[in-house]
Structure 1
Amino acid sequence: MSVVAKGSTVLVTGANGYIAGHVCDQLLQAGYKVRGTVRSHEKGKWMYELFDKKYGSGQFEAVEVPDMVADGAFDSAVKGVSGICHVASVLSFSNKADEVIPPVVKGTLSVLTSATKEAGIKSFVLTSSSTAALMPVPNKEIIVTKDSWNDESVKQAYESKDPDGFVVYGASKSEGERALWKAVKQTNPPFQVASVLPNLNIGEILRPGGAMSASTGSWVPKLFQGDKEPLYFPPQWYIDVQDTARLHVAALIDPSCNGERIFGFAKPYYWNEILEILRKNFPQKQFPGDINLDKDLSKAPNEDAEALLQKHFGKTWSGLEETVLRNLAQLV
């Protein structure tokens, strides 16, 4: 039994982003129509070209929402939709907390408020992040539960004189998701609500020519091109971006997801594994030598997410090698 009927329209915010584009793609593939919000029509042009070719014209439309924190920003966009995936966020990685955290919180509450004004909405999914629950600490075992929150990053973001931009981003995802659940508890909206917390997203890049600017999806392409910067990010768990999108679809349509935090953690990786995959598949290229052996030892409650993938898509997590190779498809 699906909460959102096939053929109905689902709103995806920030639709031209790396994850959101895949959420649109998986929804279309599953038989839904998609309305995506973009800051300008120009940003949505490539999506029409891609999705019209794959699914036929009229299945996808882009609408402008220039500023997600403006009062009533999504009131028009939600008209006539049956479900919402709120993926848009602030990805500036600024280290100024006041420039990142309040807009993420306000944007989330703005979409939720608009949703409550539209009687036909059956389901609401928030794209949160693993960083809402924890920050990766190499070689330290961290036990994550469904009640875990990244309080340390929130504290650092506001109290440190010069916080790291990644820490501020984590604080914004933590505060944004908490604001959602607080509002849901207070208002008891007439639709189901779930959140998806993916860890490091890598995999296929949908936007033509977008390999070097696809958020975390650009890390492996940069490494492939000789840029060592990604090696300075700590190892984490990875997830194929298509699996993240599939989890959004499952969270939207499956009644068992109401009120749930769904942890999109496939498996831990470390950079030497990715370097080994690159050397194996591209022996003609030179890659950096192995670096330190730091690993992510955290434990996450990912069983429900894996079960949802199996239930709705007949598969579990995509493997690291296939995900890395899909990530490089635009470059090879």
Structure 2
Amino acid sequence: MPETVLLTGASGYIAAHILDAFLGAGFHVRAQVRSKGSEERVKHHYTKYVDSGALSFVYVEDISVPGAFDEVVKDVEGVIHTASPFILNAKDYDKDLFDPARNGTLSILQAVKKNNPKVKRIVITSSFASAIDMSKGLRSGYTYTEADWNPMTIEEARNADPTSAYLVSKEIAEHAAYEFEEKEHPNFTVTTLLPPMVYGPVEHDVSSMSHLNTSAADVYRLMNGSEKSVPETGFYAYADVRDLAKAHLLAYTTEAAANQRYLITNASYTYQMLCDIIRKNFPELKDKTPEGDAGAPFPNVYHLDNSKSIEELGMTYRTMEESVVDMVKSLLALEKSLT
């Protein structure tokens, strides 16, 4: 009998690719969504798996509510927890970011400990946000590893900009997971994955181009004429969403990944590099994609070390050109289907 894993936040951009990875590897997936409407939006992409019984759905409207996961974690062998707020313009940081990130993570850990001794591994989608030290700026010559943690406190974040507050929310959630494991000694182990920006093809259901997820919208603006100049780069590394999905599968199935965190990243990048790739591969978009300083060298900023994921998980990574070309193709196809 195939193992069943619970996937939280199953209607999201990253989650769609995680579904592909686990279903394709022969797992059964119990997909947590917030409503019947979300279920329908996911379901029509995976009809054969629904029909075969490999994919089923459960509802949790608010993941931060105590006991929210008590029933849905029963009778699964593992959990992939992707559900977490990705809000870069929050107004009420505690309400919109800190509390949901921490409580959503603790809610599922507590539910599993209380209700399901069969679970052996919980993989959590964290973020490079929980490792970066924004106070150090661009850190020329520095290489981030899994040993790095975002040092900003909640008190400092409450008086900071929304982006900094979001970064801290990811650190809060990840620390909460490891602190829970250390104090509660549950039957399961935790593995966290730390991608920076996430790019690659859009596979989840999108109702309109104005409702793209944050990552897809970030690239779409570079190819739809809305940006007249190349934007300033905010984070200098990215992960391909398909490679990130594979990393979730490997983190779940690799024994050595227990209680480990992994930086999942394909390469360093700038928006200039993205624009160069788009203009090179899609001549029809040249008038809509800013030229900027074509071919400009990579600036003297920090780098990310992905060697741990390669050595311990066996990860391989796509090239930046493949990631960007495939993402633009998917956005063009989506645009055409919605007009």
Residue from 288, 291, 312 that aligns with 2:290: 288
2:151 corresponds in structure 1 to 151
- For residues 227 and 139 of structure 2, what CA distance do their matches in structure 1 show? 21
> How far off is 1:301 after superposition?
3.4
2:250 corresponds in structure 1 to 250
Deviation digits for residues 109-148 of structure 1 (CA, Å, limit 9, x no counterpart) = 0100011120211111111000000056446343323231
Task: Note if 1:172 corresponds to 2:159.
Answer: no
Task: Note if 1:192 corresponds to 2:189.
Answer: yes
Correspondence 1:241-280 to 2 at 5 A = 241-280=241-280
- For residues 216 and 323 of structure 2, what CA distance do their matches in structure 1 show? 10
2:76 corresponds in structure 1 to 81
Structure 1: tracts of 5 or more residues without a match: 1-5
Q: Is the 8 A contact 2:13 2:203 kept in 1?
A: yes
Correspondence 1:211-226 to 2 at 5 A = 213-226=212-225
Count of aligned pairs: 320
Q: Is the 8 A contact 1:269 1:296 kept in 2?
A: no
The TM-score, its normalising length taken from structure 1, stands at 0.89
2:122 corresponds in structure 1 to 124
Letter in 2 for 1:111: I
Task: Note if 1:106 corresponds to 2:107.
Answer: no
User: After alignment, is 284-293 or 70-79 more displaced?
Assistant: 284-293
- For residues 48 and 133 of structure 1, what CA distance do their matches in structure 2 show? 35
- For residues 50 and 326 of structure 2, what CA distance do their matches in structure 1 show? 21
Structure 2: tracts of 5 or more residues without a match: 334-339
> How far off is 1:155 after superposition?
5.0
2:85 corresponds in structure 1 to 90
Q: Is the 8 A contact 2:106 2:176 kept in 1?
A: yes
- For residues 281 and 301 of structure 1, what CA distance do their matches in structure 2 show? 28
The TM-score, its normalising length taken from structure 2, stands at 0.87
Letter in 1 for 2:275: L
1:202 corresponds in structure 2 to 199
Q: Secondary structure at the match of 1:174?
A: helix
Q: Is the 8 A contact 1:307 1:316 kept in 2?
A: no
Q: Is the 8 A contact 2:43 2:50 kept in 1?
A: no
Letter in 2 for 1:330: L
Work out the percentage of aligned pairs sharing the same amino acid: 29
1:40 corresponds in structure 2 to 35
Letter in 2 for 1:115: V
> How far off is 1:209 after superposition?
3.7
> How far off is 1:76 after superposition?
0.9
Cα 1:194–1:173 shift into 2, 3 Å: same
CA RMSD of aligned residues (A): 2.3
> How far off is 1:102 after superposition?
1.6
Letter in 1 for 2:309: A
Q: Is the 8 A contact 1:39 1:66 kept in 2?
A: yes
